[in-house]
Amino acid sequence: METLSHKIDFALVLAVDHANPNGDPLNGNRPRENYDGRGEISDVCLKRKIRNRMMDLGQPVFVQSDDRCQDGFHSLLERAKSNEVLAKTKDKEIYAAEACRTWLDVRSFGQVFAFKGSDVSVGVRGPLSIHPAFSVDPVDITSLQITKSVNSSNVGSENKKASDTMGTKHRVDFGLYVTYGSINCQLAEKTGFSDDDAAVVKEALLTLFENDASSARPEGSMEVVKLIWWQHNCKSGQYSSAKVHRCLKVESKVQSPHSIDDYSISVRELEGLAPEVLDGR
């Protein structure tokens, strides 16, 4: 199969409505925000969601979360050893080639194969890179005190509440987030990433929050608003990714935006590079 034939840049506009898009475990799981008060969704979080969608679309994925594990292996080492070629070879090039051939996320994002007690340490650099997502405007975060109706442990009294019945829940009231990414042809040649793989990534981005609902992200509270997809006419790209990404303009039309309708989204065209603007599903 031929590898990626044209460089690709993309931008993704996401809406958050009374949800926690990405909690910070070092800050009581409050939604992430920078020093300017703008909301943030880490690139690691976005990659996790993309991997989950790849799995939903029937693609083999190496880095699976425990709650979405599909093959019964609960560690990366077990999953790697389940492959006969990886279990036997000590050749780094063969190891990397087999890992890329087997798992879509490896040939997309890359992966470091360095396990304790293993004779092989292999690093794969992937062609797909994605930025953290930041909100266009500062976000308001609401914190709610919650209680459980049933004690989790026996505290010696029927009427006494245990300490673990109390908790806190955080949410972003509303925020419009933007992230950018790129797929590099030169790195795609090394991992075997193809045009068909790019089509899977495109579908994953368009449906990023499908099957992603939770108590922190109720169904409908997270939405893909727009996916802007630029396909260059050559492998090296007609323009730099930075210049292409600046073509997207997302601006608030009111002082305190509370919905998607309070924003204007426009994409400036560069000569010879027409963007494909797609609505989220």
pTM: 0.92
Report which DSSP code applies to 91: -
277 burial (CB, 10 Å; 0-12 / 13-18 / 19+) is middle
- CA dihedral (10, 13, 16, 22) in degrees, to 10, reads 30
CA triplet 249, 253, 255: central angle to 5 degrees?
120
Whole-number Å distance between alpha carbons of 219 and 137? 23
CA distances from 86 to 4, 77, 83, 93 (A): 25, 10, 5, 11
Backbone φ and ψ of 131, nearest 5°: -85, 160
| Per-position pLDDT tens, the chain of length 281 | 689 999 999 999 999 999 999 999 999 899 999 999 999 999 999 999 999 999 999 999 999 988 888 888 888 999 999 999 998 998 999 999 999 999 999 999 999 998 876 778 899 999 999 999 999 999 999 998 888 677 666 655 566 666 666 788 899 999 999 999 999 999 999 999 999 999 999 999 999 999 999 999 999 999 999 999 999 999 999 999 999 999 999 999 998 999 999 999 999 999 999 999 999 87
Residue with tokens 């190891």: 95
Residue 138: which residues within 8 A CB-CB, separation 6 or more?
33, 36, 37, 38, 39
